Amino acid sequence: MVSVNSSEKWQFWVDRGGTFTDIVAKSPQGKIIIDKLLSENPEQYQDAPIQGIRDILGIGKNQPIPTEIIGVVKMGTTVATNALLERKGERVVFVTTKGFKDALRIGYQNRPDLFALQITLPEMLYETVIEVAERYNAQGEELESVNREQVKQDLQLAFARGIRSCAIVFMHSYRYPKHELEVTEIAQEIGFTQISVSHQVSPLIKFVSRGDTTVVDAYLSPILRRYVEQVKNNLYNLADDSYSEQGTTNNQQLTKLMFMQSNGGLVDADLFQGKDSILSGPAGGVVGAVKTCEIAGFKKIIGFDMGGTSTDVSHYQGEYERSFETEVAGVRLRSPMMAIHTVAAGGSSILHFDGNRYRVGPDSAGSNPGAACYGRGGQLTITDCNVMVGKLQPQFFPKVFGKNANLPLDKQIVIEKFKQLVEEINYGRNEEQIASGFLAIAVNNMANAIKKISLQKGYDVSEYTLCCFGGAGGQHACLIADALGMKQIFIHPYAGVLSAYGIGLADIIIIKEKSVEAICDETSLNTIQTIFSELITLAKQELAAQGETDKQKITISKKVHLKYVGTDSSLVVDYGNLNNMKQQFESLHQQRYGFIVTDKNLIIETVSIELICPTYQPEVIEPEPTSIKNIQPQPIDTVKVYMNNSWQDTPVYQREELQSEAIINSPAIIVEATGTNIIEPGWQGKISNSKNLVLSKIFE
């Protein structure tokens, strides 16, 4: 047991992913402890994050968790994302304007796969639809008032069928919400427990994407509520049935529970909503990458989070980048989210040979059976290529593989399977050459994806630092950087659990937005000033509801989304006077599109405010490097690795043993508890004073 310290308490930062739950704990003394456990292990525990907390605190199975020594638990979770992907959300009734019952199903009418004969569209999330006789036009005239009696009857019918969640989406309600409010009242009277209303969920123009967002919110919020309650029950030692509506117990006041949202900000558990939960974990990764890089002095970064099934790529140059309309699992979400580009390639991507060419993925071996080297009958994957060429060495992995999870990585099966491939391909290539070939293809695919987003946004990636994290990132970092002409790579000591670490460092962020759709002139500038103060009031109320009242800490930024009249692609500028905003817009437009238009008016599409309230300030500060001391580190082993078309004697270093300012020359392998880093020929590694690993390109 840990002694109670009233001024400083434990903090737990958790990323509950699909396969693993990563935990970063900060002790009252400021010590960081890292833990990784399986997210699902029903024989052993009900909830992985809680079990992790018990493990770290050394609390037995039947003992209560001493919440008085825990200050805060911050969590990112894929619970809602999985429910969306597997279509296992709440039963929902979709309530909409008469004539629009199929509007979300038809959507924008395009098909996802151009060349599929059998056209498969994503399954709708709602179970049933109610059409309501009501109508506003785009100018806000009420063309038809709500037929309240009919709505009431229809909603009661849905309620009687056992549906408790409803999504209300009316035409033009983003601006004229009176009818939605009327129907909300009726739904409340009937007793619906989840009511998602479009003008509150996403107060922006575009019926289809706002509608989708509202339905997703109704579909996922109840799932999240139940998960939050489960965590609370376990954390606060409540019996499952003792959690009640008024349930603020003493325990709850002791430990704060917060969740990570898709927008990169934390929110109090009780206010966590379905529409904001989809990128909960990956957003933590971006925050982790940005905050650790900033401390280390890197201002322009490409976040590169390579996991088992996919790789998440992000871009940062001073401000979080957000996308305002994102499609996830066939659902259009109109809600600000971290701009994260996902490539369907990761360590578990399966290798294919179709008789003519090698291909990698997009299918994945997942965690079970996993890669061939896991010894559970899996197919060859990218991970196996790295085993084949010696970049992954079984002796440095725990014995958790095989059918009974007690064997080392199985190199033999990998060699056998590559032997078979040598015969099948029959091109005069040996096993390691074939493995390198597949690696080259995977690296190329990922590099192309990064190049593509950089081109789309008009920046030059070669000036950036590659911030590499996730389980498989360090194995490929140098190769990716080479393919992109990048000269510097940053690998944080917690790179293997950077999402969890980022969740710990994250701020409370509240974003409020409103559609304007008016010509940008003095009149509309007056209007948006009023809107800004409304939005700020709302945001402050929400902050207060989360128990944060310290006005000193908060910062508020005001943004205006501008576009040329007659176009749809808006750019975000800081709020200012007319000239100033026009200049910002034109310089962004020039950078991104290479031209500006002089004779077209600007339209204010949307205005938004972002309220930021920090929750944790990392005290680690990168000291200025003193003199360059070439400290020669000691390898723990030397192994053969196939790089640059030949087997090379490669020293292996244990990262935790490397001293500050140690220089590691290529080729080298640096192993650490949560990953393996490869220094390819042409690169050199250096350990900074804060134990960051920085790789630099020193020759071609």
Q: Which residue lies nearer to other proteins by CB, 101 or 691? A: 101
Give the x/- contact pattern for other proteins in 87-126, rule: CB under 8 A. -----------xxxxxx-xx-xxxx--xxxxxxxx-----
- Single-letter code of the amino acid located at 693: L
For position 587 contacting other proteins by CB under 8 A, the verdict is no
Contacting other proteins (CB under 8 A), which of 171, 480, 489, 652? 171
Q: Nearest distance from residue 460's CB to other proteins, in Å? A: 14
Q: Is 444 in the site for other proteins (CB under 8 A)?
A: yes
Angle CA 341–343–348, to nearest 5: 140
Query: Nearest approach, Cβ of 437 to other proteins (angstroms)?
Result: 4
- Binding residue (CB under 8 A) for other proteins from 6, 62, 244, 356: 356
Does residue 359 bind other proteins (CB under 8 A)? yes
Q: Is 60 helix (H, G, I), strand (E, B) or coil?
A: coil
Rounded-to-integer distance, Cα 224 and Cα 270, Å: 10
Amino acid at 172: H
Only segment of 311-319, 579-587, 593-601, 658-666 that touches other proteins (CB under 8 A): 593-601
Min separation Cβ 199 and other proteins, Å: 12
Residue 574 tokens read as 């800081």
Near other proteins by CB under 8 A, which window of 247-255, 541-549, 590-598, 638-646? 590-598
CB of 102 to other proteins, least distance (A): 5
**Min. distance of Cβ 417 from other proteins in angstroms?**
17
Residue 466, classed as helix, strand or coil, is strand
Residue 117 or 239 with smaller CB distance to other proteins: 117
From the list 127, 294, 321, 517, which residue makes contact with other proteins (rule: CB under 8 A)?
Answer: 517
Q: Are 259 and 277 in contact (CB under 8 A)?
A: yes
Eight-class DSSP state of 447: H
Contacts of 16 (CB under 8 A, 6+ apart): 39, 48, 49, 75, 76, 77, 78, 79, 281
Nearest to 381 by CA among 395, 394, 362: 362
Among 30, 42, 318, 566, binds other proteins (CB under 8 A): 566
Assess whether the previous peptide bond of 362 is cis (omega < 30° from 0).
Answer: yes
Q: How many residues bind other proteins (CB under 8 A)?
A: 62
Note whether 551 binds other proteins by CB under 8 A. no
Contacts of 632 (CB under 8 A, 6+ apart): 662, 663
- Tell me whether residue 600 or residue 629 sits nearer to other proteins (CB atom): 600
CB of 468 to other proteins, least distance (A): 22
Strand ranges of the sheet holding 20-26, from the earlier edge strand across to the other edge: 32-38, 20-26, 10-16, 70-77, 256-260, 266-268, 508-519, 602-613, 555-564, 571-574
**What DSSP string runs through 617-679?**
------PPP-S---B-PPPSEEEEEEETTEEEEEEEEEGGGPPTTBEEESSEEEEETTEEEEE
Instruction: Looking at residues 419 to 438 of the shown chain, list those that interact with other proteins (rule: CB under 8 A).
Output: 425, 427, 437-438
Q: How far is the CB of 137 from other proteins (least distance, A)?
A: 6
Binding residues for other proteins (CB under 8 A): 98-103, 105-106, 108-111, 114-121, 135, 137-138, 143, 171-172, 174, 205-209, 353-354, 356-359, 425, 427, 437-438, 440-441, 444-445, 448, 451-452, 455-456, 458, 517, 566-569, 592-595, 597
